[in-house]
């Protein structure tokens, strides 16, 4: 990192090898702090090192359920502004080991897969992140009344919603992925891979992609129906990402009651 910064001529950016949980006391106080991993709570050293009226951007929360916050320091205290749900890489070492709420990779499940929780003031869907091109809607004919609907009229434009889940392929050999789906006038995007689906992507401990499986893809117009499939979990899997959306297709696609559950150990 130091060599890259030097090569591109950044003279006012410095690198340090150490525990980010403790900040960089010898150069404090800081007007701005950006944290790019996800502690369970804001580390006290970073609070102490933030200058009065300073700002900090930090993702805080459980391993797979985090909120990106903007923090302002006023009169020595932090004021929090919740920005949106997000997923950052975890802390490493002792800070990660000391989490009070730990994920359970032997029992993967989704949060708010039936979309019963109302959107945040920002419009973001609780439990999910990196959303694009969707609306939260209610209709008595929908399986659980509340659902998310993606709409797109520009081929190739991405629309999506993601959620990470803990999953250990040494323990869980197979999983079931199911969802309720409704489509209207759906056509593929720029190529045949751009069609709505519910995807699950399996990652190893270094977050390398191992495999991707799908419910779908879906085309045309169809009323609400359940889609369900069982998939083998690669043994090297340590986490997974569930993604839903039009993925570049045009038309309207709605999703409800998205469920991940283990079916083999």
> Is 32 in the same domain as 88?
yes
In a domain, 120, yes or no: no
Contact between residue 5 and residue 15 where contact means Cβ atoms under 8 Å apart: yes
Beta-bridged to residue 134, according to DSSP, are 150
> Is 65 in the same domain as 163?
no
Contact between residue 215 and residue 197 where contact means Cβ atoms under 8 Å apart: yes
Pseudo-torsion of CA 25, 29, 33, 36, nearest 10°?
Answer: 0
Residue 108 has pLDDT above 90, yes or no: yes
How far is Cα 180 from Cα 2, in angstroms, rounded to an integer?
A: 50
Number of domains in the chain: 2
> Long-range contact list for 35-39, CB < 8 A, 24+ apart?
35/59, 36/88, 36/89, 37/88, 37/89, 37/90, 37/91, 37/92, 38/63, 38/66, 38/87, 38/88, 38/89, 38/90, 38/91, 39/91, 39/95
> Is 84 in the same domain as 148?
no
Q: What predicted TM-score, i.e. pTM, was given to this entire model?
A: 0.86
- Domain holding 208, by residue range, is 129-264
State the pLDDT confidence band at 187, using cuts at 50, 70 and 90. Answer: very high
> Is 69 in the same domain as 156?
no
Residue 93, pLDDT score: 65
Residue 101 has pLDDT above 80, yes or no: no
In a domain, 52, yes or no: yes
Residue 20, pLDDT score: 78
In a domain, 170, yes or no: yes
Maximum average pLDDT range among 98-102, 183-187, 260-264: 183-187
What are 144-185's pLDDT values in tens digits? 899 999 999 999 999 999 999 999 999 999 999 999 999 999
> Is 79 in the same domain as 34?
yes
Beta-bridged to residue 212, according to DSSP, are 201
Contact between residue 211 and residue 201 where contact means Cβ atoms under 8 Å apart: yes
> Is 202 in the same domain as 245?
yes
CA distances from 130 to 37, 113, 123, 178, 194 (A): 16, 15, 12, 21, 18
CATH code: domain of residue 223: 2.60.120.260
In a domain, 121, yes or no: no
**Strand runs (DSSP E) across 12-159, as ranges?**
30-34, 50-61, 66-74, 77-86, 129-132, 134-138, 146-152
Residue written as tokens 């009169």?
Answer: 75
In a domain, 112, yes or no: no
CATH code: domain of residue 78: 3.40.50.150
Q: Which residues contact 254 (CB under 8 A, 6 or more apart)?
A: 137, 142, 147, 148, 149, 150, 181, 182, 183, 224
> Is 48 in the same domain as 145?
no
First to last CA, the chain: 42
> Is 141 in the same domain as 253?
yes
In a domain, 70, yes or no: yes
> Is 67 in the same domain as 190?
no
């Amino acid at each position: 990192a130091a060599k890259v910064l030097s090569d591109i001529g950044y003279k006012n950016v410095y690198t340090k090898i150490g525990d980010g949980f403790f900040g960089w006391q010898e150069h404090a106080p800081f007007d701005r702090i950006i944290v790019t991993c996800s502690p369970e709570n804001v580390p006290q050293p970073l609070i102490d090192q933030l200058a009065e009226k300073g700002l900090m951007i930090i993702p805080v929360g459980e391993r797979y359920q985090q909120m990106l916050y903007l923090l302002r320091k006023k009169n020595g205290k932090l004021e929090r502004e919740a920005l949106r749900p997000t997923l950052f890489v975890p802390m490493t070492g002792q800070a990660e080991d000391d989490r009070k709420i730990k994920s359970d990779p032997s029992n993967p499940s989704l949060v708010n897969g039936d979309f019963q929780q109302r959107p945040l003031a920002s419009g973001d869907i609780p439990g999910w992140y990196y959303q694009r091109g969707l609306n939260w809607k209610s209709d008595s004919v929908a399986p659980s009344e509340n659902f998310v609907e993606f709409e797109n009229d520009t081929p190739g434009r991405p629309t999506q919603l993601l959620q990470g889940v803990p999953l250990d392929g040494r323990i869980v050999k197979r999983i079931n992925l199911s969802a309720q789906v409704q489509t209207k006038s759906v056509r593929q995007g720029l190529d045949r891979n751009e069609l709505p689906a519910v995807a699950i992507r399996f990652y190893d401990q270094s977050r390398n992609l191992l495999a991707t499986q799908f419910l779908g893809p879906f085309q045309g117009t169809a009323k609400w129906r359940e889609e369900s499939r069982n998939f083998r979990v690669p043994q090297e899997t340590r986490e997974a990402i569930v993604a839903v959306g039009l993925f570049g297709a045009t038309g309207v696609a709605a999703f409800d009651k998205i469920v991940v559950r283990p079916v083999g150990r």
